[in-house]
């Protein structure tokens, strides 16, 4: 009697469908960007958490996180000047692609997708309690966390797709705001502030555009590698032969 391993086609199909849905909503569907607006704010949260968590990892401080209605945000954190300060500035730029890549690689089955979605909801809840200090952040993120919990617990058939869709949105976030990688200043919450690449250049060495190119290349490699590995899936044996 021959027994086959579980088919990997479903996670692959979910990945392809998630990528098509994200790109279509962004570029083809009328009001698609409005539909994606809560997820854009979620991606902003991932970006700012990238700054804050990096600051904590290098021995700095993470005081608060602000998200604004124009989908911009700021993480109020500090680290010693030099390499550590540069890493904090870079943390937000590489945070969404890394988060997307990890979710793509981890959420390959129903149980793993539930864990990924539940973990993301828990991280949001912790950040709301500890760091988020704007009303927009609370209004946007609290419902998202609640929906993620419901999907993780109740929507068994859609967990993988939702996880893959979020992963694609996170992964593409930096590239959807690609201009920001090559700007010295940006309007954040109505105030003109130095961009992340400008802060990296001031902490290490100019020009800022060089750091934008390097970070774009890094994000592309991370995202491309994650897509390849997630689509390839685990190696499958042709069949496992057991006695009849």
Looking at the domain assignment, is residue 70 inside a domain?
yes
Looking at the domain assignment, is residue 242 inside a domain?
no
| pLDDT tens profile 118-145 | 999 999 999 999 999 999 999 999 999 9
What span, in angstroms and rounded, lies between the C-alpha atoms of 144 and 140? 7
Helices (H), the chain: 9-27, 32-35, 37-57, 83-106, 110-130, 135-154, 159-176, 196-203, 208-232
The domain total for the chain is 1
241 versus 104: the higher-pLDDT residue is 104
pLDDT at 167: 87
- Cβ count within 10 A of residue 3: 8
3-state secondary structure of 203: helix
pLDDT at 178: 81
| pLDDT tens profile 164-200 | 888 888 888 777 778 888 888 988 888 889 999 999 9
Looking at the domain assignment, is residue 154 inside a domain?
yes
Reported residue count of the chain is: 244
Q: Average per-residue pLDDT in the chain?
A: 82
pLDDT exceeds cutoff 80 at 4: no
Looking at the domain assignment, is residue 14 inside a domain?
no
Looking at the domain assignment, is residue 79 inside a domain?
yes
Looking at the domain assignment, is residue 149 inside a domain?
yes
- Chain centroid offset of residue 242 CA: 43
* Percent of the chain surpassing pLDDT 90: 48
Looking at the domain assignment, is residue 11 inside a domain?
no
Residue range(s) defining the domain that contains residue 227: 38-232
Looking at the domain assignment, is residue 178 inside a domain?
yes
209 versus 7: the higher-pLDDT residue is 209
Q: What is the CB-side half-sphere exposure of residue 128 using CA atoms within 13 A?
A: 19
What span, in angstroms and rounded, lies between the C-alpha atoms of 131 and 64? 4
pLDDT exceeds cutoff 90 at 155: no
Angle of helix 196-203 versus helix 208-232 axis, rounded to 10: 120
| pLDDT tens profile 6-44 | 444 455 555 555 555 555 555 444 444 555 688 889 989
pLDDT exceeds cutoff 60 at 237: no
């Amino acid at each position: 009697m021959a027994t086959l391993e579980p088919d990997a086609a479903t996670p692959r199909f979910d990945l392809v469908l998630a990528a098509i849905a994200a790109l279509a909503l962004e570029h083809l569907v009328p009001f698609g960007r409005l539909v994606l607006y809560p997820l854009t704010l979620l991606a902003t949260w991932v970006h700012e958490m990238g700054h804050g968590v990096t600051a904590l990892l290098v021995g700095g401080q993470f005081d608060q996180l602000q998200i604004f209605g124009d989908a911009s945000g700021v993480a109020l954190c500090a680290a010693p000047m030099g390499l550590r300060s540069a890493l904090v500035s870079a943390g937000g730029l590489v945070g969404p692609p890394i988060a997307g890549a990890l979710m793509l690689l981890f959420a390959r089955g129903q149980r793993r997708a539930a864990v990924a979605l539940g973990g993301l909801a828990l991280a949001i809840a912790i950040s709301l309690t500890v760091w988020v200090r704007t009303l927009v952040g609370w209004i946007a993120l609290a419902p998202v966390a609640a929906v993620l919990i419901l999907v993780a617990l109740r929507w068994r058939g859609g967990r993988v797709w939702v996880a893959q869709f979020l992963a694609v949105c996170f992964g593409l976030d930096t590239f959807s705001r690609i201009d920001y990688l090559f700007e010295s200043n940006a309007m954040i919450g109505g105030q003109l502030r130095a961009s992340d690449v400008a802060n990296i250049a001031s902490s290490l060495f100019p020009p800022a555009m060089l750091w934008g190119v390097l970070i774009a290349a890094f994000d592309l490699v991370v995202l491309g590698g994650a897509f390849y590995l997630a689509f390839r899936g685990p190696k499958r044996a042709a069949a496992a032969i057991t006695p009849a």
